[in-house]
A and B are shown apart, each in its own frame.
Chain A
Amino acid sequence: MLSVAHQQPATELDDATLRRAMRGDGDATRRMVELYQDRVFALVSRMLSGRGRATIEDIAQDTFLAVFRQLAQFDLRGSAKLSTWILTIAARRAIDELRKQRPVLLAEPDRDRAGESRTDERTQRRELALVIEAALRDLSPELRAAFLLREYHGLEYAAIATALQIDLGTVKSRLARARAGLRERLAEVVTP
């Protein structure tokens, strides 16, 4: 039986382009930004939820400028993916930003109203988003980064531990606590 091969969009920069980017080639550098910008924005915007778009764009840009500065250090022969390395830099930048500013209070989901509006799928998704935001709001910057890197970007525990300079066991135990907290909150709004 013949299978139909679907061409998947590339998730990592190919080696040749990466080498060119490491030498400062403009086209290769642009390709790198275009390939990873969605993931950087996803991480930074969730890390800095409530900070405002301008701040998020600044941190995302700052991330790429740091990537350019440090790109020569990226180990082509190492096991780490370029995306993991870039997300690590983005996470650290976002953590720095969180430490600089006072936490921004997010709106608590209005549970009564949420219960009334579950027939509206869009409203329910918004409610879910608020619940998740609220659950992550209470986490420390490092733990928030750990959760996002794991659950939204699929990083391995060891990579997260290295990225955030946290002991591997600590990453696992703290993520377990974070998941438990999230489950409790989700249970209040998700229809069984």
Chain B
Amino acid sequence: MNDDELNESERTALDAWAPLTPPAGFADRVLAAREAAPVPRRSKWPFVAAGIAAAAAAAVLFLALRDPSHAASGELVDAPARTTKALGDRAVAVAEPNATLTWRIDDDGDAVIDQREGDVFYRVDRGGPFVVHTPAGDVHVTGTCFRIEVKLMNKTKQLLLSGTIGAAVATGVVVTVYEGHVIADSKKGNRAEIAAGNRATMSPDGRTIVASADTPDRSGEAMVAFDERTATREQLIARANVQQNEITKLRTRISELENTSGRRDHHDNGAEEGRAWYDPSPERLASWVGECHVRSDEPGFDRWQPSTSLGKNERGLEPNELAQVNAALSEVQQQWKALVKSLYVEATGDATGAETLSLEAMRGEIEEKGSRDEHNLILQRIAMERAGLAQPPADLSKASPFERLFRAYTKLGDQSEQALAKRLGPERAKAIRGDGWGSRSDWSGCPDKGE
């Protein structure tokens, strides 16, 4: 207990401020509201990383791929070149070379970013809390465009302004706001609201925030700033145009970088030349080890049902092949269901639930049993195994239910193709799988360093 804690009489005084109490029937009202907007169970693995989004088109995917599950996390360490990352589905970050950041977005869209180094431009949609932790303090965002530069400072202009002359070389932070506003909250408790067109410097010791109105022109990155509540339609259109131009420029720039380096970034949803999406080259697999990146496809067994007609027939099935495909995929789905059930019972001891819960719900329960670190460790192992740098475990019986589940999940694509091959032959099975089954996933995320 601290010396400054309130004493008994002061605590008694606090009781004088009576709170409101819930109205009668409040629980009914909440439950009715829940029914009106059903709560989606998590349909993604907890560590679905921003790697799902293609770097080359992240700005566009950010707008286009709005998945019902907002959860995402990821890491960018010492960016080798300007890199665009989708931070969940409400923000995009453009990191300059050498920037390092990690991000975690929960299912509700609340975001925590940790920017340890470098220069990063952020575009954030309005929503819940979005906080960027930096070495000198935090930046709280509601919806805006801004840039954070974490830089070594020693008697720089900003520090001279702040009166911190003579400070040792340390990491200070410059926040520049192009649109909306942010709140800079230094680690020593100083706080400043920074509006569009302004910038502020948080000194390395966190004692000082120096704001100035001279936002430097950053090669066309400046956004049209105004108060959305009073903006005219023309202003909104003008801003949209500016933002669209910005996105186009970012995409062009990334394409140039890709062409220069002679390869497509692996985060691109497209496959490598001459290879199916699910079948990365050995070189690509080797490059994924550093990010603990794993890719897999499957037919979407959580909800898959046998087809009664060819429908759009996007896989080019012959009429007589439909029954064979249904039989093959049903077989694999049944095996998958049986595995999920058994692992669910093993993980939770809830045999009754295994008979009533959906496949998706059981999968969610199993994944809850594992920590994020365990998830990332499994990703690292599989990435190394796929790159030929490690042997898959000969005996998985001692592995956690989650590891066994995840490993089995990442093999469902091949397993489905093999089941089909037994019926239609390997060539036809491969052709039907095509570029990959309908449900495709990319995961990335390494264990914390030091583990």
Contact = CB atoms under 8 A, between A and B. Distances in A.
Contacts of B321: none
Contact of B26 (A33, A179, A182): A33
Contacts, number: 127
B27 A96 contact: no
A99 B20 CA distance: 21
Interface stretch (B2-10, B171-179, B441-449): B2-10
B166 interface: no
Interface residues of B, number: 53
Nearest to A173: B189
Given A41-B20, A179-B4, A65 B37 contact: yes
Given A38-B21, A176-B4, A30 B368 contact: no
Interface residues of A, number: 58
B30 A73 contact: no
A68 B108 CA distance: 10
A190 B9 CA distance: 9
B142 A33 contact: no
A65 B128 CA distance: 14
Contact of A56 (B20, B108, B191, B353): B20
A125 B15 CA distance: 9
B14 interface: yes
A180 B4 contact: yes
A140 B185 CA distance: 11
Interface in A129-144: 129, 132-133, 140, 142
A175 B287 CA distance: 49
Interface in B3-61: 4-6, 9-11, 13-14, 16-23, 26-27, 29-31, 33-34, 37, 39-42, 46
Nearest to B129: A92
B335 to A, nearest CB: 24
B110 A64 contact: no
A169 to B, nearest CB: 8
Given A70-B107, A165-B138, A186 B17 contact: no
A15 interface: no
Given A61-B30, A66-B108, A45 B19 contact: yes
A132 B18 CA distance: 11
A70 B106 contact: yes
A128 interface: yes
Contact of B20 (A26, A30, A45, A132): A45
A95 B129 contact: yes
Contacts of B210: none
Nearest to B137: A167
A46 interface: yes
Contacts of B110: 92
B332 interface: no
A117 interface: no
Interface of B: 2, 4-6, 9-11, 13-14, 16-23, 26-27, 29-31, 33-34, 37, 39-42, 46, 106-108, 110, 112, 128-129, 131, 133, 138, 142, 185, 187-189, 191, 350, 353, 357, 361, 364-365, 368
Interface of A: 19, 23-24, 26, 29-30, 33-34, 37-38, 41-43, 45-46, 53, 56-57, 60-61, 64-66, 68-70, 72-73, 92, 95-96, 99, 124-126, 128-129, 132-133, 140, 142, 151-152, 165-167, 170, 172-176, 179-180, 182-183, 186, 190
23 contacts: A23-B357, A23-B361, A33-B27, A33-B30, A37-B27, A38-B22, A60-B26, A61-B26, A65-B33, A65-B37, A72-B364, A72-B368, A73-B42, A73-B46, A73-B106, A92-B128, A124-B16, A132-B13, A132-B14, A165-B133, A166-B185, A170-B188, A183-B10
Given A41-B20, A166-B138, A170-B189, 13 more contacts: A23-B365, A30-B31, A34-B27, A38-B22, A65-B34, A72-B42, A128-B13, A128-B16, A132-B13, A166-B185, A172-B2, A179-B6, A182-B10
In order of increasing CB-CB distance, the 6 nearest A-B pairs are: A128-B16, A45-B20, A42-B19, A129-B17, A125-B16, A33-B27
